[in-house]
Structures are given as structure tokens and as C-alpha cells.
Chain A
Amino acid sequence: MKGEYIVLAIAGIIFIIIVASLYNTLIRKRNAIQYVLSSLDALLKKRCDLIPNLVSTVLKYMEYEKTLLDELTELRARAISPDLGLPQRTELDSKMGRLMKSIVLSAENYPQLKASSNLLHLQATLNEVEEQISAARRALSASITEYNNAVRVFPTNIMARLMGYQEYEWYRVSERERSLPDLKNLLNN
């Protein structure tokens, strides 16, 4: 009789350890997504903050591109709004990224601007931020994959169902961003 109680106690402890481990795994993977999302937000904000500097640097040289610059300033104003949902923010972020790239490319047509140390520094900073954003998106994709796998595979799927966890929505790249950029078109626009 005493032996049976010991076996039951050990089985109970093992069961609790397994349940705790599954619970912690799901929490950790979900937190990983949150961490990457907040880092991505910070990087997108960092890119946003470059815009006023970029506009003021190029404005006096690129009067013909004034429409582009006005559009960029307007997008930035909308992007920093706190009420924006993820899909709208993603869309705005894509548009801003494309506009900034085309403005920097257009600067090639203005020799004085092209040689400006301020623009060179801005280009380097922009390249760095773009690469960091790309890294954050890759990290987001990896953390979502890990989380979704945990939600679907046995035995973590049982715990996920009990906790009410569902698969996370994939980060979607817009069709336009996936297609290769037409540099000639960008420069002529």
C-alpha cells in the first residue's frame, strides 16, 4: 500500500513537471514574438525620425521632387499616430520605405547634393536602419514559426488549447514590395 502511494506521488510530480514545462515553453515562445515586435516598432520609429533630417537636407536642392517630400512628411505624421493597428502600420511602413529609397536614389541627379556629407551620413544611417529592420522581420518570422509549431505539434498543442492560444498571423510582405524595383522608373518619377 505504502509503495503504491510512493509511485502515485512520483507520477504526480513528473506530471506536474511536464505540464509546467509545456506551459513555460508556450509562454517563452509567445514572449519572444512580443520582444521582436517591440524591437521592430522601435526600429521603424528610428527610421521615421530620419525623415525630417532627410527632407531638410534635400529640400533646397530637389525642388522638383517637392511632391515626393510632401508625401513622405504626410506619411510620417500618420505613422507616428498611436491609434494605428498593425496592418495599417505595415502598409504605411512599406510606403515610407519605398519613398525614402526613391528620394535617396533621385539625389544621384544632383551633384552638389550627392557630395554633401550630411546626405552621405544619412544614406549610411538609412542603410543601417533598413538592414536592422530586415533583421527584425527575419527574427519575427522565425519566432512566429517556432510559436506556431509549438501550438500545432503534440504535446504542446494540448496545453495551447487549454490556454486558449492560437496560431499567430504571419507577417505579410505586400506584393509590390516583393517585386524587383524598377530603378529607371523611380529616378524618372
Chain B
Amino acid sequence: MKDLNDFRQFYKDQLAQIVDGLESIRNQAASRKLTHLAITGAVFILMCLGILIWTELHKEMYDNRSLFFVFAFIICLIGFSIATRNCFDEYLYRYKDETVGNIITFIEPSLRYNPDGFIPIEHYRYSNLFEREPDRYTGSDMVWGMVGNTTIQFSQIHAEEEEEDTRTDEDGHTHTDTYWVTIFKGFLFVADFNKDFKHPLILSPRKRGNTLMENPEFHRYFSVYGEDPIETRYILSTSLMRRLVHLREIAEEDISVSFVPPYIYVAFPCETLFSPPKYKRLDYELMETYFWYLYYMIGIVDILGLNTRIWSKQAPSVS
């Protein structure tokens, strides 16, 4: 797999040109929006002046002056929104495909990318990583395909549940406020595991486990919950435990892992990535950040040795 030096060369040879093109479109869109803002501001000022003059001439309307100012403001706001609603369309439409899409193809050409797709909720439930059923489940940036002998898919997901806060005021009236609580936000990675097994196995950074493994460093980061002590150790070989520790240390965040036949799941919490910046300059540092996250997610296959297929479970055939 490619490394940072290869990425720097790729950026220099290909990506920089694309980023410059997008930066130009972004700049134009931002300038257009600022121009519209200036025009709207000028219109608002003129309208306010008009209102002031008119209310001076018609004293009976003097008391309603503040209402007219508010109307003027709303009209200008609506006008501004309509005029600028398509400003960034081309930029937003092209941004992810041309930046994230190209970086993914650079790292692993066999993978495909859909900026609007995300891991189905069935995988979220099946993974056994999350205890709560979400009331709202969204995501983006779906990547899928084969890395060597292993089929993978991953995307950003955001699972939330709705909560209500009921309170009673001094008059005895009940008010209910609704708000959203995040259950999980980050990357969910799914791959076809390279061994056959029957029972789920959960590795959690926080919950209590029921199995103590031989590697104390492993237990710094993971508690193990497995249904069968032999199958737990068959899945968690000494080699895989070392690799999982390495995966966690690279992430610098608590990650959760589960093995549910026939998959391995990795949940990596993070804030939303790859959103096109509208008012910030596009540069190499931003692209490098994307590269590191994608390189890590795609690299899970090599880090965990999922392409090693020396047991009876062979790689799936590519149709």
C-alpha cells in the first residue's frame, strides 16, 4: 500500500491541479455570496431610509415603524437566500468526488466510493457494538470493494436518539422540549473475517468483559466478552491481539471491535470529515488529513492481517 511520500508525489503530480480548480470555484462562489450580501445590505439600508421618511410623512404610522423594519429585514433575508441558494452547488457537487474519490483510488484502485452512501442500519444492529436503537440514522462517504483477498466496506455514520425533557412552569403548564443525543458518530468498518466462527465476540474499551486474555497490554485498551472460551482464543490469537493493540495506538482514540459471523466490525469515533469548506482555503494539509483517515481505514486489512487465508475459510470469489 502507498505511504505518505507516495501521497506527496501524487499530490504534486495530480491532486494539486484538481484542488486548485476547486479552490477557484470555491473562491468565485464565496465572492458571489459576499457580493449578494453587500447588495442585500445596501437594499436593507435603503428600505430602512424609505421607512424612516415615510413614517415621518405619515405620523399615524410612526408607532408601527419597528414592525416595518422587521418586515424589511425578513424580505431582504428571503431575497438573499433565494439569490444565493445555488452559489456553491457546483463546488459541493464536485468536491467529494474529486478530492476524497481520487485519494481513495490512489490508495487502493479496486475500491469504489459513493459520497452519499453509508453502511446500512442492519450492519449497525448486527455488529453488537451499540446498545441503543437509533431514532435517526444517517451517514456519508461509503467506500467498498476488495483489498487483496478481503471484502470491506466502511462509511461515516451518525446514530442519534430522541430525548424529551418535560418541565412544568409556575402557571402549571407542561412544556416538552425535544433534543437529539448522539449514540455514535464516526466510522464504521465492516470486513469479511479470515476464520470461520460461530459465536459473537465483543471487544469494548469501556464495558466489563468476561474473559481474561494473556496479553496485559491488550487489556489496557479492550475488555473481552465472548460466549465460548476456546472460540474466543481461536479468534484472538496472540498475533491478532498484538495487531489490535497496534490498531488502537495508531487511532489515538478508543475503538470498539466485534466479531459477528462472518464479519469483523471496527467502530472508530470521530467528528464529521470531508465536508467541503466554503470559507476556508483548500490546501495540501487538508488533503493530507483526508489521506491519513482513509489510509487508516483501508489499512485495517493489513494491520490486522485479514488477507492471511491459510485456514479453511478462503477468500470470496470475485464475480
Look across to chain B and name the residue whose beta carbon is closest to the beta carbon of A125.
B312
> Nearest Cβ in chain B — how far from A155, in angstroms?
21
Q: Which residues of B contact A159 (CB under 8 A)?
A: none
On whether the beta carbons of B234 and A127 are closer than 8 Å, the reply is no
**Residue in A32, A121, A125, A135 whose beta carbon sits within 8 Å of that of B234 in the complex:** A135
> Nearest Cβ in chain B — how far from A142, in angstroms?
7
> Nearest Cβ in chain A — how far from B307, in angstroms?
15
On whether the beta carbons of A143 and B229 are closer than 8 Å, the reply is yes
* Cα A47 to Cα B230 with chains together (Å): 16
* Cα A36 to Cα B196 with chains together (Å): 19
Q: Which residues of B contact A123 (CB under 8 A)?
A: 310
Q: Which residues of A contact B312 (CB under 8 A)?
A: 121, 124-125, 128
Look across to chain A and name the residue whose beta carbon is closest to the beta carbon of B231.
A135
On whether the beta carbons of B212 and A142 are closer than 8 Å, the reply is yes
Look across to chain A and name the residue whose beta carbon is closest to the beta carbon of B314.
A124
Known: A132-B234, A142-B212. A36 touches B311 (CB 8 A): no
CB of A107 closer than 8 Å to a CB of B: no
> Nearest Cβ in chain A — how far from B310, in angstroms?
5
On whether the beta carbons of B234 and A131 are closer than 8 Å, the reply is yes
Contact with B along A65-82 (1 / 0, CB 8 A): 000000000000000000
CB of A138 closer than 8 Å to a CB of B: yes
CB of B206 closer than 8 Å to a CB of A: no
* Cα A66 to Cα B307 with chains together (Å): 35
Look across to chain B and name the residue whose beta carbon is closest to the beta carbon of A43.
B230
CB of B66 closer than 8 Å to a CB of A: no
On whether the beta carbons of A138 and B233 are closer than 8 Å, the reply is yes
* Cα A131 to Cα B235 with chains together (Å): 9
**Residue in A121, A127, A132 whose beta carbon sits within 8 Å of that of B230 in the complex:** A132
Within 8 A of B (CB), among A104-135: 121, 123-125, 127-128, 131-132, 134-135
On whether the beta carbons of A139 and B233 are closer than 8 Å, the reply is yes
* Cα A35 to Cα B234 with chains together (Å): 16
* Cα A82 to Cα B212 with chains together (Å): 33
On whether the beta carbons of A136 and B230 are closer than 8 Å, the reply is yes
* Cα A119 to Cα B312 with chains together (Å): 12
> Nearest Cβ in chain A — how far from B248, in angstroms?
21
> Nearest Cβ in chain A — how far from B237, in angstroms?
7
Nearest 9 pairs of A and B residues by beta carbon: A135-B233, A135-B234, A128-B311, A139-B229, A138-B233, A124-B312, A139-B230, A136-B230, A127-B310
Offer 25 A-B interface pairs, CB within 8 angstroms, sorted by A: A32-B229, A36-B229, A36-B230, A121-B312, A124-B314, A125-B312, A127-B310, A127-B311, A128-B195, A128-B196, A128-B311, A128-B312, A132-B230, A132-B234, A134-B237, A135-B230, A135-B232, A135-B233, A136-B230, A136-B233, A138-B214, A139-B229, A139-B230, A139-B232, A139-B233
Known interface pairs A131-B311, A136-B230, A138-B233; 12 further A-B residue pairs with C-beta atoms within 8 A, sorted by A's residue number? A36-B229, A123-B310, A124-B312, A124-B314, A127-B311, A128-B196, A128-B311, A135-B230, A135-B234, A136-B233, A138-B214, A142-B212
Q: Which residues of A contact B (CB under 8 A)?
A: 32, 35-36, 39, 121, 123-125, 127-128, 131-132, 134-136, 138-139, 142-143
